[in-house]
Structure 1
Amino acid sequence: MRLDPFVAATERLLAAGDNPAFNPDPAERRRLTTAADHRAYSVLGRRRIEVATREQEVVVPGYPSARLRVYWPTESPAEPGADLPVLVHFFGGAFTIAGIDWPGWDHQFRTRAHEAGVIVVAGEYSHAPEVRFPAQPEQCYAIFDWVVRHARKLGADPARVAIGGASSGANLAAAATLINAERADHPVRLQLLEAPVVDLTGGHLDPRAVSRFLPRIALRPVFEPVVKEYLGPDRRLRRHRYASPLRAPTHRGLPPAVILTAELDPLRGDGAAYTRALWRAGVPATCVQYQGQTHTSGGLTGHVPAADHLHRDVVTTLRTLHDDPPEYATPAAPHTVGPRQLLADLLPWLRRR
């Protein structure tokens, strides 16, 4: 495994001392990473895309209210009846940092809305450890539910709704999708999960993303503090379906999913495992792994060719929401391909040689 040299060059460009994401004090970590995001926005030469926006506060019974920002694809809000697709998206930040006001996330929301011709609704959830689980899944579901119920007024089509997120935001998007299936069953066209963490037990962490000689236990010092800040000391919560959507008792009936992972990200195992879980439940799911990429390099558009390609993949995927969904045949039960089957598949090719 080798790091993409374009990623390495861009990381050198952005390097500024110690990684603020590892500061042990949550408030200070938040302050430092926010400053780092503003600096990266400038260093990477981002250009603000002018689109119409609107903010809304959503009441979440029993939990702190949640804020969202609507991004329309043009400089004017869509009129009711425009029936545009809409993506409800949740930012990543290890449950403790980042937000919809970060220039980097704001740039991504504006760009995707504009280039895909869809409405993007960016949802904000409370930071841990000041506010802990299950507040965040409830907030994210409340945002999603609000969007569906107000879709027509936003100029959106409630039958063309996607839900997505990155990293911890992908965890919350998957959790909100489960909550929706249990409570309201609003139609969802797509789950778009980028570098997702969907098993907070750590059971699917993949140390081979760092080194083939690294034991899984070596990842615990990085993973454990994040989980404890979000869930608190009760280890039983790690298996709760809203904390670890991969461990939900069933995934049957969930919407189709596109899952994007990175070769050099220990969370790549979560994305692959979730794809297989959806397959077993008969859910159409696609998992793409970007070689030489890290957990965060997908955000380095304009500097890393693979990041640009990931962006085009996402935009193309979002554009499919404008079309009617395809009808697939009933999937066959997944099965393991053994050595005999592999040999049988290879023999015709070998004979042609």
Structure 2
Amino acid sequence: MSAELGVAPIVSATEEHVLPVPGHPDARLRVYWPTDVRAEAVADGGLPVLVYFFGGGFEIAGIDWVWWDASFRERARDAGIILVAGEYSHAPEVTFPAQPEQCWSVFEWAATHARELGGDPNRMAIGGGSSGANLATATALMNRDRANRPVRLQILEVPLLDLTTRHLDLDGVEPGIPKPLFRHLAGIIVRQYVGRSRKRRRDPYASPLLAKSLKGMPPTVIWTAELDALRGDGEAYARALSEAGVPVSCVRMIGQNHGSGGFRHHVPAADHLHRDIVATLRTLHDEPVVYPEVAR
């Protein structure tokens, strides 16, 4: 399919690492630099660093998938950043909480080694798409709870954030897909990842939208799609962040579905999404805007 769509990775410098994750399978990552030359280690300054997690319903895809690999290379080049793509184990062979712990290990490694990569640990961002956005948000929560490293930005594309599925907006499902069937399929994905325990589904590292508090989360930009039931998750999360005093923006792509963003050069909205994400990432080169705190 990638060949039919004309997806071909550009040449860029990369480097791979495998990290031990105590009590869970190892985590693999790939570092992408914005040019075909690896950046030198720096003592001060350096490029912004984005830690990103791919989507695939917790069950498929990975950093070797041609579409994701090509996307990582282009985003690093166009935004002028270092991108660290983390890989996590697939369900149902491996289940929660292994995946967020693996992603946390990838983020910690990237923050700790940022200077060695030619990056700036004070210009870090976390991002992900779909199930990867779930894990990115869980990682940001873990960072707030465990280390509180500075994170300048969180970017979430069509995120899945509530595994109880009560925030699904089934009015957004594309015509022709019966709502009971969609809910059944969503339930299968959830069960394969977290099991049947309702308590586990409500764990904030499984369903970040249900965290008791979102105070202290990084400034966030969210993209949802009109013809996607997960627009309910992303937009509810934007409201929850705003209520917690976190700077947040949420953009709904009209007429688009969950996978539209993958069809660059074929769907105008996909090309705009790429430009929008790149422009957002390029703000990491600037000094952050400090917004007045609003009493809630």
TM-score by length of 1: 0.81
CA positional deviation for 1:46: 2.1
Percent identical: 59
Q: Which one of 55, 62, 66 corresponds to residue 103 of structure 1?
A: 66
1:59 counterpart SS class: strand
Aligned with 2:258 (options 295, 307, 310):
295
- The answer to whether the aligner puts 1:87 opposite 2:63 as a matched pair is no
> Deviation per CA, 1:212-262, whole angstroms, max 9, x where unpaired?
999965532110000010011222211000000000110001100000000
C-alpha RMSD over aligned residues: 1.5
Q: Quick one: distance in 1 between partners of 2:175 and 2:230?
A: 15
Match of 1:228 among 181, 186, 191: 191
Question: Corresponding residue for 2:121?
Answer: 158
SS of residue in 2 equivalent to 1:318: helix
1:228-307 equivalences under 5 Å are 228-307=191-270
Distance, in Å, in 2 between the alignment partners of 1:47 and 1:221 is 35
Cα deviation for residue 208 of structure 1 reads 0.8
Secondary structure of residue in 2 paired with 1:310:
helix
Q: Which runs of 5+ in 2 are unaligned?
A: none
- Corresponding residue to 1:67 among 28, 32, 57: 28
Paired position in structure 1 for 2:76: 113
Matches within 5 A, 1:303-314: 303-314=266-277
Cα distance 1:132–1:327, how it changes in 2: closer, same or farther (>3 A)? same
Rg larger for: 1
CA deviations 1:38-74 (Å, max 9, x no partner) are: xx21001123311100000111111111000000000
TM-score (norm 2): 0.96
Whose helix fraction is larger, Structure 1's or Structure 2's?
A: 1
2:131 is equivalent to residue 168 of structure 1: yes
State the secondary structure of the residue aligned to 1:179. Answer: helix
Describe the SS at the equivalent of 1:151: coil
Residue 164 of structure 2 aligns to a residue whose secondary structure is: coil
Matched residue type, 1:60: V
Distance 1:212 1:228 in 2: 26
C-alpha distance in structure 1 between counterparts of 2:31 and 2:87, whole Å: 12
With over 3 angstroms needed to count, the CA separation of the structure-2 counterparts of 1:215 and 1:92, relative to structure 1, is same
- 1:330 — aligned with what? 293
Question: Aligned to 2:98, which of 131, 135, 149?
Answer: 135
Query: Is the CA contact 2:21–2:102 (under 8 Å) kept in the aligned structure 1?
Result: yes
The residue number in structure 2 matching 1:50 is 11
- 1:182 and 2:145 correspond: yes
Partner Cα separation in structure 1 for residue 174 and residue 136 of structure 2: 30
Q: Distance in 1 between matches of 2:182 and 2:13?
A: 42
Per residue, is there more strand in 1 or in 2?
2
Cα distance in 2 for partners of 1:234, 1:124 equals 25
CA distance in 2, matches of 1:127, 1:87: 22
The unaligned stretches of length 5 or more in structure 1 are: 1-39, 334-353
Aligned length: 294
Question: Does the CA contact (< 8 Å) of 1:208 and 1:214 recur in 2?
Answer: no
Equivalent residue of 2:111, what SS?
helix
Q: In the alignment, which residue of structure 1 is the partner of 2:158?
A: 195
Letter aligned with residue 115 of structure 1:
D
SS at match of 2:122: strand
* Bigger shift: residues 259-268 or 46-55: 46-55
